């Protein structure tokens, strides 16, 4: 009887996995957080040069939804305008520094990856950044022009007059922009999870119906209005990107090792 065929050796572990202790990981995390904060500070300084114009642009969808002749926002304290400018500088810094922050995130997790997995860093950073900005643009140009008139239309009683605070509206606008930016990152996140073996295309496809229900519920919770148009504007991209994630998981996911049959 011939000897059973030898099973192929396990792949080499990630290059630096055995070299880093728990405290090394903490020090590396601290380093990446600090570098991300430095990038955020640079982004804030860049945005601060034209923060007034940026506030005007961000508030445009809100103002245009107000009745003609009263398209102005109010503030209720002397310090509120200054706080609005500071918040816009911070939020703007996040948008400007997003590629740098994503790169620091990648640098933190890269030591635990194989060389072939590290080669996708450039596509991941490119598509991650592009989708983040694309989500924010989609929200600003398509969602907000429909969402704010729908919200104000709820108060159709002539005895009610809108008096919107600039600080509160800024918080809502930025939450929507950042929320859609994150939603558009779903394909990249799924692809990465599949690449490191945490999920598979088969698993994602099996629970497709569950994902559609969950995405619709999340869209209903996150959208500022309950009308079908705004719900669809968030739910449809979420479901679409889930399907794109399945395709990417099938292309980039870890392949199961093929068992070598023993020969008699």
Global pTM value: 0.76
Backbone angles phi, psi at 162, to 5 degrees: -70, 135
Neighbours of 221 (CB within 10 A): 8
Residue with tokens 């698993």: 203
Least confident of 12-21, 47-56, 212-221: 12-21
Residue 1 token pair: 């009887």
CA distance 73 to 163: 7
67: which 2 tokens? 């009745």
Structure tokens at 107: 């640098």
23-37, 81-95, 211-225: range with lowest mean pLDDT: 211-225
Q: Exposed, middle or buried by CB within 10 Å (0-12, 13-18, 19+), for 259?
A: exposed
Residue for token pair 């070598």 = 260
For 101-151, how does the pLDDT look when each residue is reduced to its tens digit (9 = 90+)? 888 988 887 777 677 667 777 788 888 889 989 999 999 999 899 888 888
DSSP labels for 86-136?
Answer: HHHHHHHHHHHHHHHHHHHHHHHHGGGS-HHHHTTHHHHHHHHHHHHHHHH
- Coil, strand or helix at 74: strand
**3-state SS assignment for residue 243:** helix
225/30 Cα distance (integer angstroms) = 39
**Whole-angstrom distance, CA of residue 63 vs CA of residue 120:** 43
Residue 233 Cα to chain centre, angstroms: 16
Provide the pLDDT for residue 6: 53
Q: Where are the domains of the chain?
A: 22-252
Token pair listed for 197:
């073996």
pLDDT digits (tens, 9 = 90+) for 43-101: 999 998 889 999 999 999 999 999 888 889 999 899 999 999 999 999 899 889 988 98
Q: How far apart are CA 96 and CA 40, in angstroms?
A: 8
With contact defined as beta carbons under 8 Å apart, do 201 and 248 qualify?
no
Within 13 Å of residue 127, how many CA atoms lie on the same side as its CB? 18
pLDDT at 88: 92
């Amino acid at each position: 009887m011939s000897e059973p065929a030898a099973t192929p050796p396990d792949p080499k572990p990630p290059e630096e996995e055995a070299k880093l202790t728990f405290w090394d990981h903490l020090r590396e995390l601290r380093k990446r957080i600090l570098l991300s904060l430095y990038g955020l500070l640079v982004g804030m300084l860049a945005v601060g040069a034209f923060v007034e114009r940026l506030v005007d642009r961000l508030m445009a969808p809100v103002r245009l939804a107000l009745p003609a002749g009263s398209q102005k926002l109010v503030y209720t304290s002397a310090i509120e305008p200054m706080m609005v400018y500071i918040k816009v500088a911070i939020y703007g810094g996040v948008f400007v520094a997003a590629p740098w922050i994503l790169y620091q995130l990648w640098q933190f997790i890269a030591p635990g990856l194989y060389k072939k997995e590290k080669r996708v860093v450039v596509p991941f950073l490119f598509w991650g950044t592009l989708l983040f900005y694309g989500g924010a643009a989609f929200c600003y140009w398509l969602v907000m022009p429909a969402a704010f008139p729908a919200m104000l239309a709820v108060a159709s009683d002539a005895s009610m007059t809108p008096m919107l605070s600039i600080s509160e509206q800024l918080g809502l606008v930025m939450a929507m922009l950042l929320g859609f930016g994150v939603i558009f990152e779903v394909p990249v996140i799924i692809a990465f999870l599949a690449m490191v073996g945490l999920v598979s295309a088969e698993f994602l496809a099996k629970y497709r119906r569950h994902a559609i229900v969950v995405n619709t519920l999340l869209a209903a919770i996150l959208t500022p209005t309950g009308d079908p148009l705004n719900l669809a504007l968030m739910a449809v991209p979420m479901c679409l990107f889930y399907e794109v994630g399945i395709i990417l998981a099938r292309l980039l996911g870890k392949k199961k090792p093929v068992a070598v049959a023993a020969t008699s």
